[in-house]
Amino acid sequence: MGKKLLKKYPVIDYFFITLGAALMGMGIGVFLVDARVVPGGASGLAMAIHYLSGGTIQVGLMIWLINVPLYIWGLKELGKSFGVRTFVGFTLSSFFIDFFRGDIPGFASLKLQETAAIQDLLHNDFLFLIIIGAVLLGVGIGMIFKFNGTTAGSDIVAAIMQKRFGFKPGQAIMLIDFFVIALAGLVIDLKDLSPDRPALTLTLYAVFLLFISSRLIDVVIDGFDYARVAYIISDRNREIADALTKNMTRGATAIKSRGLYKNIEREVIFTVVTLKEVGKLTSLIKEIDPDAFVIINNVHEVLGKGFRRRI
């Protein structure tokens, strides 16, 4: 009964989407807006408009206004693939940006970007400020993606470009982000919004931000590698398999194969071990058959006995 309710009302997914939106909102609203370093996409475009307006247009509200027509366009072009969770994702992230900046009515006193710690980082440790913003942004977006939400914006445009023009999504998003970053840099330069740092310097910081946050998104979605898969080709397969089950208490699977060079049929041993066991595995194989051919690859997720499950 509990599992059925959880599937019908995915409270956990929406909780983590909300948490991810809060982290993303804090990263942009508190650390990046006043630093004049834009993250690309709808957020970066909204920040550029915010700068053009002299700060009168709220960043979060502008992100929401940009995303609503994109969301409707996505529904028409792509169907329901951009559903309720997409709307929730970009609405919450837009809300939290203005919330942490004190732009939501009733929360004007919040203004975390004006606290002594943030101001000290802004003026005395700018790089660390951007790194914190990148981490919060990357982890936040990664969390939203991991629990089946999206932040709309360039995701929708990229999906439509893939459908209509055959662009790969990654290439399309990168193209859009670089365009937005360049546009924001031009706005900052023309309006002379950063007398302490040249616009080109801020643009390079934005590219650095894009790299860090994108890597963190991958880490949150895929996780840090915590296991390895090994393919073992040896003339002493039986001995190696016995050693795996007895000495390492790991299961193994024999896969029938045929070597094309010598046209010899043999079995390939397939097994999964934790990172700590890789050294023990290779030592065990070398002890039994020094001429064994071994391939070891990274594994992001393992479901089964003997391995912890990711969230």
Q: Which residue has the tokens 């546009």?
A: 183
Domain residue ranges in the chain: 2-222, 227-299
- Beta pairing partners, 295: 231
> Amino acid identity of 42?
A
Contact 89, 152 (CB under 8 A): yes
SS3 196: coil
Tell me how long the chain is. Answer: 311
Least Cα distance to 22 among 79, 83, 92, 86 occurs for: 92
Q: Say yes or no: domain 227-299 is CATH 3.30.70.120.
A: yes
Q: How high is the pLDDT of residue 310?
A: 53
Express the helix, strand and coil content of the chain in percent, nearest 5 each.
Answer: 65, 10, 25
For residue 308, what is the DSSP state? P
Task: Look up the pTM and report it.
Answer: 0.75
Per-residue pLDDT reduced to its tens digit, 49-96:
999 888 899 999 999 999 999 888 888 877 765 678 888 889 999 999
Per-residue pLDDT reduced to its tens digit, 213-256:
888 887 787 666 668 899 999 888 889 988 888 888 788 888 88
